[in-house]
């Protein structure tokens, strides 16, 4: 009996899970068969397809150790030429250097015979392009929040000496409704000779390409990214491109001509930002620091706080019945002027998929040759003095002021844009003031009266985003810290979890040399990513982190739905929002 107890006392401990998995990959025939069939790579098992490119595929996979979902970009190197291989190497180098809360995070790189696998975080919300294509243009506040995150991400890139050169809606991934990740750094490059280094490679998508890419032999990377950001802001607010053509040569002509239109429903600060960015001369475009300080963000935050109270009151059936009808536009006027309002613009966008839409628009164009009253014609070739004055000098805006409406609708008169003739400008001004302004005065006056409410307003989204960067931006996100005194609390917790999996501190320190090509570094980054996500959900649950309500465009769209569609679509929307909230890294 004593001998049996002695045998149990000296029994060998159970093999740690990490050692068991690595041993199975080398000796288990089932794992070898899965690798040969393309069902597994390393510690990752494929479970679905996300997208496909010319020479690559993006697959959804699960890490067998941590059970976390990741996105794996599988690149077939046998089909790539020398230039494409250099671009792939640049993408890995850039993602390794530019860790940031608003930039897609790289976990691991696995190289096999003829293929390279880039393992990154899985962003469940999909592309910004698909979101706009389904729901239509964004409200100003929503676009401002996304644009501010893009500015912070691009600022981080430029400060490290990198340029993206392929900023577009397809490369902006939606973590949640108000959080994004900038992705796809295949065209990125490092400016070794400084920010004014000349580049000569045509990169990116032609609709987002700056004029100098079409006209000059070389260009500077920073202003090219700024131009692409301006086109992206325009696309978010209009759901269409400022310069359109059926072929690249025709698109080149349109971009060099520089004529485009802005919706008159946008605010004056928003219009000025777009006009300031879309400038022909690269040296005249604003810097990232200037854009971060522009008045549009402050205006969007203030206007959102006012309109949210109005929307909430209108959504309450009791409050709607008790509402003062003097602020409502009569039905006879509403049906005549609905095309000028934001909701009318949504209906026009949603009805554009109708097969008769094209014929109706053609008939309307033949009926009248007057320019559209809902748009403001602009040009990228403008006087520099007026340009600087309009953008850099703040303006006083009262949300209930009639003068603000006139300014927001007619900020681009003949002094700023020479595309309008004086005769056409005067005719549009007289016609629009008598109808458009009268349509919008009452609702804005109603919103202004609610501004003195005792309700506490939410904090500025810029401060919230800056706190996110301060909390999440650290070198421990990509590599373990060597000094124990400087170790982040999340890193300490990660090391404890890795030790329970059989990964010792000595193994972690040795894996740093191999960088992202080490499976231990991949596990380390995935665990840091998961702990940050859990910390975010905990803050949201405890109320420590302020998360704004869903944006106005969703609530306005919900109020126009029928009772039968509300229950079905809202349940799916709530499910998607809850999933997005779980995967958000705030």
Helix, strand, coil percentages in the chain from 3-state DSSP, rounded to 5 = 60, 10, 30
User: What is the C-alpha separation between 392 and 284, in angstroms, rounded?
Assistant: 12
User: What is the C-alpha separation between 455 and 429, in angstroms, rounded?
Assistant: 38
User: What is the C-alpha separation between 169 and 228, in angstroms, rounded?
Assistant: 10
What tokens appear for 458 in the block? 């939410």
Buried b (16+ CB within 10 A) or exposed e, 36-74: eeeebbbbbebeeeeeeeeebebbebbbbbbebbbbbbb
What tokens appear for 456 in the block? 């506490």
User: What is the C-alpha separation between 217 and 214, in angstroms, rounded?
Assistant: 8
Report how far Cα 159 is from the mean position of its chain's Cα atoms: 20
What tokens appear for 20 in the block? 């068991």
Active site residue 49: no
Contact partners, residue 526, CB within 8 Å, separation at least 6: 63, 66, 68, 70, 107
Pairing of strands 106-112, 115-121: antiparallel
Q: How many residues does the chain have?
A: 586
User: What is the C-alpha separation between 187 and 157, in angstroms, rounded?
Assistant: 13
Q: Is 73 annotated as a binding residue?
A: yes
* CA nearest to 219, candidates 202, 243, 194: 202
Q: What radius of gyration, in Å, describes the C-alpha atoms of the chain?
A: 27
Pairing of strands 162-163, 189-190: antiparallel
User: What is the C-alpha separation between 405 and 397, in angstroms, rounded?
Assistant: 9
What tokens appear for 466 in the block? 């800056």
Taken in order 452, 456, 457, 459, the sign of the CA dihedral is: positive
User: Among residues 166, 178, 184, 552, which one is catalytic?
Assistant: 166
Contact partners, residue 560, CB within 8 Å, separation at least 6: 343
Strand, helix or coil at 442?
helix
Contact partners, residue 384, CB within 8 Å, separation at least 6: 284
* CA nearest to 520, candidates 511, 531, 510: 511
Residues making up the binding site for ATP: 73
Residues making up the binding site: 73
Catalytic residues: 166
């Amino acid at each position: 009996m004593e001998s049996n107890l002695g045998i149990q006392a000296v029994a060998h401990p159970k093999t740690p899970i990490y050692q068991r998995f690595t041993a199975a990959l080398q000796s288990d025939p089932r794992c070898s068969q899965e690798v040969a069939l393309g069902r597994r790579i390393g510690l990752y098992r494929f479970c679905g397809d996300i997208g496909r490119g010319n020479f690559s595929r993006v697959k959804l996979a699960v890490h067998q150790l941590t059970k976390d979902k990741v996105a794996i970009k599988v690149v077939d190197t046998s089909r790539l030429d020398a230039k494409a291989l250099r671009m792939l190497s640049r993408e890995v180098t850039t993602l390794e250097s530019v860790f940031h809360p608003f930039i897609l995070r790289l976990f691991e790189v696995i190289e096999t015979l003829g293929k390279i696998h880039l393992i990154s975080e899985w962003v469940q919300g999909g592309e910004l392009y698909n979101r706009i294509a389904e729901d239509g243009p964004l409200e100003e506040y929503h676009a401002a929040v996304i644009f501010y995150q893009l500015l912070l991400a691009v600022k981080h890139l430029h400060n490290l000496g990198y340029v993206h050169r392929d900023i577009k809606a397809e490369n902006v991934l939606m973590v949640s409704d108000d959080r994004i990740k900038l992705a796809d750094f295949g065209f990125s490059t490092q400016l070794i000779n400084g920010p004014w280094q000349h580049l000569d490679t045509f990169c990116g998508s032609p609709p987002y390409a700056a004029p100098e890419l079409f006209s000059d032999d070389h260009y500077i990377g920073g202003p090219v990214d700024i131009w692409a950001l301006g086109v992206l802001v325009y696309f978010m607010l209009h759901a269409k491109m400022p310069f359109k053509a059926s072929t690249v040569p025709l698109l080149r002509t349109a971009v060099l001509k520089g004529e485009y239109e802005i919706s008159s429903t946008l605010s004056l600060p928003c219009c000025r930002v777009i006009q300031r960015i879309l400038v022909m001369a690269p040296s005249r475009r604003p810097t990232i620091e200037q854009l971060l300080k522009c008045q549009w963000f402050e205006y969007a935050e203030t206007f959102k706080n006012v309109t949210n109270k109005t929307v909430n009151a209108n959504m309450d059936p009791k409050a709607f019945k008790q509402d003062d009808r003097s602020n409502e536009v009569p039905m006879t006027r509403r049906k005549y002027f609905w095309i000028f309002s934001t909701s009318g613009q949504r209906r026009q966008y949603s009805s554009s998929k109708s097969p008769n839409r094209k014929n109706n628009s053609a008939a309307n164009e033949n009926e009248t040759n007057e320019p559209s009253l809902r748009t403001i014609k602009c040009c990228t070739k403008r006087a520099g003095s007026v340009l600087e004055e309009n953008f850099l000098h703040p303006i006083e805006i009262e949300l209930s002021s009639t003068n603000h409406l006139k300014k927001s609708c007619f900020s681009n008169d003949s002094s700023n844009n020479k595309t309008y003739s004086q005769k056409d400008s005067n005719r549009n001004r007289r016609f629009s003031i008598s109808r458009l302004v009268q349509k919008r005065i009452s609702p804005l006056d109603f919103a202004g009266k609610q501004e003195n409410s005792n309700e506490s307003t939410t904090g500025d989204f810029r401060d919230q985003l800056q706190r996110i960067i301060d909390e999440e931006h650290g070198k421990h996100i990509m590599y373990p810290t060597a000094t124990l005194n400087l170790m982040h609390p999340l890193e300490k917790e990660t090391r404890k979890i890795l030790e329970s999996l059989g990964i010792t501190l000595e193994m972690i320190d040795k894996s740093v040399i191999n960088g992202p090509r080490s499976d231990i570094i991949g596990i380390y980054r995935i665990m840091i990513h998961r702990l940050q996500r859990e910390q975010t959900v905990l803050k949201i649950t405890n109320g420590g982190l302020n998360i704004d309500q869903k944006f106005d465009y969703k609530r306005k769209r919900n109020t126009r739905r029928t009772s039968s569609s509300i229950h079905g679509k809202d349940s799916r929307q709530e499910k998607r929002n809850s999933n997005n909230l779980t995967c958000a890294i705030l």
